[in-house]
Amino acid sequence: IKKMYDENATPAVLTPFLQVLDVRRIGAAAAAATAEPPKNERYRLVISDGTNYHQAMLASQLNSLIHTETLVKNAIVLLKTYVCNVVGGKKIVIVLD
């Protein structure tokens, strides 16, 4: 995970296997009032390489992975495409594929 934020590393070169420690829907209280999931729902993940852990956001086009229970807590995933950003002063990984 530390290498993902290294300025010399590029997502095309670094494709880590990580474990998903937690999956949470953002704004779940507001979304719970409706029967259908909102079109703009977002999920926050906690990912780990076994040594370090970090927060991540799942791109909304990947929400079907949550709905079909393909992406669940404790799953092992391969990050093919991602972006590391600073949001609100905190580093966060945006999972794109």
DSSP one-letter string for the chain = -GGGG-TT--TTT---EEEEEEEEEETHHHHTTSSSPPTT-EEEEEEE-SS-EEEEEE-GGGHHHHHTTSS-TT-EEE--SEEEEEETTEEEEEE--
Indicate whether 33 pLDDT > 70.
no
7 vs 77: which has the higher pLDDT: 77
**CA 40, 43, 44, 45 torsion-angle sign:** negative
45 vs 7: which has the higher pLDDT: 45
pLDDT single digits (tens) 45-92:
999 999 999 999 999 999 999 999 999 999 999 999 998 888 888 889
Query: Mean pLDDT over all residues of the chain?
Result: 84
Q: What is the pLDDT of residue 84?
A: 87
| Gap between the Cα atoms of 45 and 24, Å rounded | 6
Q: Model pTM? A: 0.78
Q: What is the pLDDT of residue 40?
A: 77
Indicate whether 9 pLDDT > 70.
no
